[in-house]
Structure formats: structure tokens, C-alpha cells
Amino acid sequence: MKVVQKILLAGVVAASSLLGLSAHAADEAAIRDKLTSMLGLDVETIADSPVSGLVQVSTNRGLFYVSENGQYLLQARVFNIDEEMRNETEIALSGLRKDGVKKMESSSITFKAKDEKHEISVFTDITCGYCRKFHNEIDALNDAGITVHYLAFPRSGLNSPNYEDMVSVWCAKDPQKALTRAKAGSDVASASCNNKVAEQYMLGQKLGVNGTPNIIMPDGSLIPGYQPAALLTKALEATE
């Protein structure tokens, strides 16, 4: 798949150079309609990309690059060779992650540090072994000045008992206590309310989350998988 992406990218770039196209020449309405009608993607933004001949498209299923005529769609990483292999795609994704988790912060289950120095957002699942291991260190993280905002990412999808249980946790009278009990293996008491568990799950998919835990750092970078509290603390302190 990576080879195909590279071939397509090379072809599109070469074609755009020959035709002298610019990103502003793209028919945004046509691209939006095509991605929606043919691929079922919800297009959020269309912007210039770092590569001539392509536009950068943010959708509910992630970040893509599309040729200006709407014929080719690529899911790839763009590196800037002249800037020491700067990952242009990751820069774009980092911005999307920061904005996305900030908008969801009010609906997260938050374990706030008393002497807050850093904030992280963590996509989590109550049945995930490594999520439970991470949560076992929540006190150590808080003591280190790290506030944790948990966002729901039911791994079994939205039409599953797993999803219903996570809704019950988010709707509990004491969500923090309910989450801690659920991650300790206790049964989840059924509860319902207006909630954003589904929206948090879909945000995770948009941001490239495909497992749990996934940690969104303050700069928008993503750490896939479990990280011990001590290492995570060091990583955050290094950014100070």
C-alpha cells in the first residue's frame, strides 16, 4: 500500500508541475461533493497542502490528500526533505488534535492535578488492560502535576455492550468513581443522560486513534499505547 501511495503521489506531483496548477485552482465544491457522495466521507475543511497539485482534506475519517481534479485520494505522510525531513502531515494532525480535544474537554472525565503543570487527553476504554494499567498510576500522574482528561473510545464500536457501559460510566452520578470501579473490573451500573461518548469516539477516529490508550500531549502529538507515569512525566518536563 505504501508503494502504491508513493507512485500515486509522484504521478500527481509530476502532472501538476506540467500543468502549472496551484492549490487555489482546486474546485473545492466538486471535491467535497465527490468525497461525500462516492466515499461517504464528511468533509470538514479543504486547505492548501505542502505538495503542489494536492489539497489537504480533513474528514470524519482522518486527514487525506486529494488531487485538484478530485481524481486521486491519498492517505500518506508528507515529509519536507529541504527542512530536515520535517513531517508536514504530523504538524497538520497535531493542530487538529489540539483543537479537537480542547472542544471535548468539558465532556471528558477529568482527574485534575492539585498543582497543575501539564494537561493531557487520553482516549480510553474500560475493558482495555493497558488502560487499566495506566489508570492505576493516575495518582502518581496527578502528584506530578499532570491533569488527565479521559475521552471515551469504546473499542467494540458504537453498537455494542461496551459502548453502552461507557455511556453508563459517563452518565454516572460520580463519573470519576464509576470509571475507576469499571477499570478495576466491577460491573457497571446502568445509567443514561445526554452525553458525548459517541462524539468522542468519532473524534478519535478522525484523529487517527485505532486503539487504547492513546495519549494526546499538550503540543498535539500522539503517543499510541501505554506509557509508565515516570516516563510520561519526564517527557512532559522536557517540554517546559
Annotated catalytic residue 139: no
Annotated catalytic residue 125: yes
What average pLDDT does this structure show over 36-45?
Answer: 93
Q: Which of 32, 97, 131, 132 is catalytic?
A: 131
Annotated catalytic residue 131: yes
Q: Which of 32, 97, 132, 155 is catalytic?
A: 155
Domains defined for the chain, CATH in brackets: 2-90 (3.10.450.70), 98-237 (3.40.30.10)
Q: What is the pTM of this model?
A: 0.81
Position 61 scores a pLDDT of 87
Res. 16: pLDDT tops 60: no
User: How many degrees, rounded to 5, is the angle at CA 110 between CA 219 and CA 97?
Assistant: 30
Q: Which of 97, 128, 132, 165 is catalytic?
A: 128
Res. 6: pLDDT tops 80: no
Annotated catalytic residue 82: no
Rounded CA-CA distance 199/94 in Å is 19
Position 208 scores a pLDDT of 84
Position 51 scores a pLDDT of 93
Q: What is the pLDDT of residues 124-142, one digit of tens each?
A: 999 999 999 999 999 999 9
Q: What is the pLDDT of residues 47-79, one digit of tens each?
A: 999 999 999 999 988 899 999 999 999 999 999
What average pLDDT does this structure show over 8-17?
Answer: 43
Q: Which of 125, 132, 143, 171 is catalytic?
A: 125
Position 210 scores a pLDDT of 84
% the chain with pLDDT above 70 = 89
% the chain with pLDDT above 90 = 81
